[in-house]
Structure 1
């Protein structure tokens, strides 16, 4: 990931867009603090399979804290 200041981004925008078109992500900073991210464009039309895969990855990335809902039901908890 490339990081550039706002002045450099303004003066070299065409070159930065070429880099992004080639798959690079660029973070634009202002006074050393990140303010924007320029990422390659992705079409919003996703297949159901793509959405399911992303959902499954999200589920796997969130650690389970405590008993599952199924465990609580079987144990007889109401809340």
Structure 2
């Protein structure tokens, strides 16, 4: 994934859009800190759905029952 600063991204937006159309993802940073990701339209949704289906399969294979508290805790841990 290419990384680019916010000012440069603003300056070269049309080039970045062409890269996204070609399937490339671009991480946009501000002073070295990631703030946004430019990805091809629709790619994030299908990737997330695939990962969710894989997770469901792994959980079902283990025959594990998760409580709402367990799920929220795991979600919150991912935000750290």
Smaller-chain TM-score bracket: 0.5 to 0.7
CA distance in 2, matches of 1:16, 1:61: 37
Structure in which a larger fraction of residues adopt helix: 2
Instruction: Report the count of equivalent residues.
Output: 60
Aligned partner (choices 17, 41, 53) of residue 56 of structure 1: 53
1:54 Cα deviation after fit: 5.2
What is the Cα-based RMSD across aligned positions, in Å? Answer: 3.0
Aligned structure 1 segments of 4 or more residues deviating by more than 6 angstroms: none
Equivalent residue for 1:25?
25
1:1-79 alignment to 2 at 5 Å?
1-42=1-42, 55-60=52-57, 68-69=64-65
Which ranges in structure 1 are unaligned for 5 or more consecutive residues? 70-79
1:42 Cα deviation after fit: 1.2
Q: 1:57 to 1:6 in 2, by over 3 A?
A: same
